Structure 1
Amino acid sequence: MQIIFEYHDVQASDSLETLAREKLENLGDKYDMVIRGDVFFKLENTTSNDTGKICNIRLSLPGPRLFAESSHDNFVDSLTESIRDLERQLQKRKEKMKSF
């Protein structure tokens, strides 16, 4: 699986990329239909201290793309929640494909 990282108003981080790559490759091993993952990290000014560090992930696979976004006080939590959301979406897609 090809993985592309983009940063908006955020300094690039090797540790974040390593963690994201590891989690996405696990998804790719489990769901071989995934072709590519685009990961976006960005900062947003918010009034809450619990949000503002956003992780968006878009997965390319046959059919419509899958997308997940989350905002927490750190990028690791945002990444983890986005991956969890994508796993649920992939499971639904896989079940739908089995029924055809």
Structure 2
Amino acid sequence: MDTNFNYVHVSASERLEEFTKEKLNKLKERFDFIVSADVYFKTENSSIKEEGRIAEIQLSVPGPQIFASANQENFDMAVNKTISELKTQLQKKKEKMQTHH
């Protein structure tokens, strides 16, 4: 699966990319209709110290694209939350696709 990483006001991180790819590959194994992923890592200048690390993931799938994002205190937590939201959306999409076949 093609995965594009984009960093907005954040230094690129190989560890973070590996962590995210691992999570995305697990999704791909479960939902083989995923074509590609665009991942965005952003920081938010927020007065709230608990948040400000944003992970956004957009998946290319048949039909409308699937998108989720999360704002957490670190990128690992944000990725986990985003992946969890994507999994829910993908499950719904898979069920819809099965009813159309």
Q: After the TM superposition, list the runs of 4 or more consecutive aligned residues in structure 1 that deviate by more than 2 angstroms.
A: none
Q: Deviations over 1:9-47 (max 9, x none)?
A: 000001100000000011011100000000000111112
Q: TM-score, normalised by structure 2?
A: 0.97
SS in 2 for 1:64: coil
- State the SS of the aligned residue for 1:34: coil
Residue 70 of structure 1 aligns to a residue whose secondary structure is: strand
Check if 1:38 corresponds to 2:28. Answer: no
- Listed as ranges, the gaps of 5+ residues in structure 1 are none
Task: Give the Cα separation in 1 of the matches to 2:69 and 2:34.
Answer: 18
- The equivalent residue for 2:83 is 83
Question: Is residue 19 of structure 2 the alignment partner of residue 19 of structure 1?
Answer: yes
Report percent identity of matched pairs: 41
Q: Any unmatched runs of 5+ in structure 2?
A: none
Distance in 2 of aligned mates of 1:97 and 1:47: 43
The corresponding residue for 1:59 is 59
Match of 1:8 in 2: 8
Q: Aligned-residue CA RMSD in angstroms?
A: 0.5
Instruction: State the Cα distance separating 1:8 from its structure 2 match.
Output: 0.5
Inter-partner Cα distance in structure 2 for 1:83 and 1:61: 15
Question: Separation in 2 of the partners of 1:95 and 1:46?
Answer: 38
Normalized against structure 1, the TM-score is what? 0.98
| SS of residue in 2 equivalent to 1:90 | helix
